Structure 1
């Protein structure tokens, strides 16, 4: 970077556990590349709770509103009780509707060689909307648990258009719609119907489209992942398949991600905060470094 390069404001959330370590390694790599980011460091997760009494402090949200760009380390979330996931809150707060999860072989000669997959996960709808409650029966207050999923035509159209636009921009040739419309006929049937409508508009650009039922897709990803190019699917299915894809290329330590909306983008490694190895100097920073590379790609 030379002295005339325009600085790009960006928010840095080091994260919890190994987050500060992998963030520091990533900043070193980006600095060596001359990346033009001007960092504003803020807290979230357990670090935010300890320092500000809030896992997602107002100053953190304000920083992202201002920069519209963030690199986020892993944030710890209590299982079962405790505070709500800061990751989910960030996606909702900034309407980060597209979760972009590439899976590429970096080290040749493994069980799955020459993998180059893109998975796009709808990030705001489906079964992760948080519409859950219990129904008490007798002395058991949690006798029945109910969760409702919400998919909209507008949301399906938005994520499918994002996916096909991404495919066109990056020279990809095929998009696979992954669903469970044979059982969840309304919830994922609407997604499939909308995806088919969007696909027709991209035929003239040479992008083909096919379909897979989620369970068949999972099996085929293990047996023959090379048949897939770009996959787009709903929230829950995307959450599962993206980790499966990461397993093909070495695990979550090799898995970057981008959460992208119309007005902001947050890039992150998708692995956990690994508090058991924090501070030992053995955390793998590759996923976070790759997330930084995605961030560079995003700003052009």
Structure 2
């Protein structure tokens, strides 16, 4: 493997200041919220945007995206204005230093998930973790679930040691899913002896392709509890309330979609009542599956406002 330091650069002045500020109390936490394969409801993206907009951010490390992205499979956006190219949404992947509500420094890895050279990328993040004595690395993203927006959002917590997630209920047994760079990062860090964990917020299946701020709010609340950082998730409440009001407006406009949501509520409540029993789910043979419900909801939304979804 090549030297991982070849794919990123560090601002040494920022690094020196960070080391001085954290010398007495231990290294900074590292949060990672990269836009990749799955982020239902844009849970990670909205959370990252909240952090960079709400807290002062200083660039610590910049990755060379030309070595990590496949531009033909994920083309950046450009703006053509009359007779000239006026703007280019330049892709980035970077680590910023932020300070939480109490002035405590932490790191945020955000931007686009690498398409290639995952092992080199993960090794590069390991160098950053070890250089700055990061005690805990925490990831966030959303996953689509057959659950209604009218019930509390569930969260699947995962970590490199059982005691990191001892306060969280496991929603899954053993499953195989497509890999992501963030999942590989957590996996490798665990094998290298570093603490790492993550939170996958359960976003209603029919809202997976929209921005759903409630998911980001729940994610940041969990990160806050795990790290002790003051991330002010409450600042997302107005956006979450606005999105919920728009969803409710569309639901109230159709008896058909109201029935879909009611079926999801029944399924959710049945599961909640049976937690702890041998048979975790009561007889749901007469209930539609999550895929059927999601497809029906998406068909309804496609008929509203020219295909605009809620949120």
- Which has the larger Rg? 2
Q: Which is bigger in relative contact order (C-alpha 8 A, separation at least 6)?
A: 1
Q: How does the TM-score come out when normalised to structure 1?
A: 0.31
Structure holding more strand per residue: 1
